[in-house]
């Protein structure tokens, strides 16, 4: 069973509706499509109605019948401007390191439904007072502190950010975070390559 967030994310691609449109354009019934793909008409009907999401091999079987690539099902229409709304209740909270008991911070993606993003934005909650393990990644990083205070170490320098402060830095330099005051520190973190 899919979570409501995953269900909605997959629904937005409209895979079933796209398959149905291709089938009707070719004036093909479910039984005929089933004979070409080796899939049952009942399964195809569930896929078209959005009751079942096909695996990639299953979707490729269908795509081959209509001479389209997989990108046909995952591409967005270029006619409409890109708009993605992420409701607070839909965000997934992830730890900085999965599978460890004491996490230094958690983060939630604020823009996960958008494919081909030019930047990534997160809501981060810093809980550890000890600095996180230094890490580096391509591009730049921007931090805006919303609550508490946060120490950001970039290379050998430490920068203390209070509520309302922001910082922009080269993320290829090793950097780490530590909460300095309050029970929690929350910030918006944006990364770009």
pLDDT of residue 85: 83
pLDDT tens profile 112-154:
777 667 888 999 999 888 888 899 998 999 999 999 999 999 9
pLDDT-derived band at 89, boundaries 50, 70, 90: confident
* Contact call for residues 166 and 138 (beta carbons, < 8 A): no
Phi, psi of 17 (to 5 degrees): -65, -35
Task: Report the alpha-carbon distance of residue 2 to residue 8 in Å, rounded.
Answer: 9
Domains and CATH numbers, the chain: 4-74 (1.10.260.40), 88-192 (2.60.120.10)
pLDDT tens profile 56-87:
999 998 988 887 888 888 876 555 557 778 88
> Residue 143, exposed/middle/buried by CB under 10 A (0-12, 13-18, 19+)?
buried
Question: Could you tell me which residues come within 8 angstroms of residue 15 by beta carbon, excluding any fewer than 6 positions away?
Answer: 47, 50, 53, 54, 59, 73
């Amino acid at each position: 069973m899919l979570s409501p967030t995953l269900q909605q994310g997959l629904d937005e691609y409209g895979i079933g509706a796209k398959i149905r449109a291709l089938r009707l354009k070719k004036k093909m019934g479910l039984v005929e499509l089933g004979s070409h793909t080796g899939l049952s008409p009942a399964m195809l009907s569930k896929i078209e109605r959005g009751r079942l999401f096909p695996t990639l091999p299953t979707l490729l079987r269908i795509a081959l019948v209509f001479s389209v690539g997989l990108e046909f099902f995952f591409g967005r229409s270029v006619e409409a401007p890109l708009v993605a709304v992420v409701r607070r209740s839909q965000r997934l909270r992830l730890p900085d390191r999965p599978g460890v008991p004491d996490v230094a911070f958690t983060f939630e993606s604020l823009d996960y439904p958008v494919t081909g993003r030019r930047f990534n934005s997160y809501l981060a909650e810093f809980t550890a007072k000890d600095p996180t393990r230094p890490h580096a990644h391509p591009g730049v990083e921007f931090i805006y502190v919303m609550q508490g205070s946060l120490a950001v170490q970039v290379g050998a320098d430490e920068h203390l950010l209070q509520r309302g402060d922001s910082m922009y830095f080269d993320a290829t330099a090793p950097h780490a975070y530590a909460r300095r005051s309050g029970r929690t520190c929350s910030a918006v973190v944006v990364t770009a390559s």
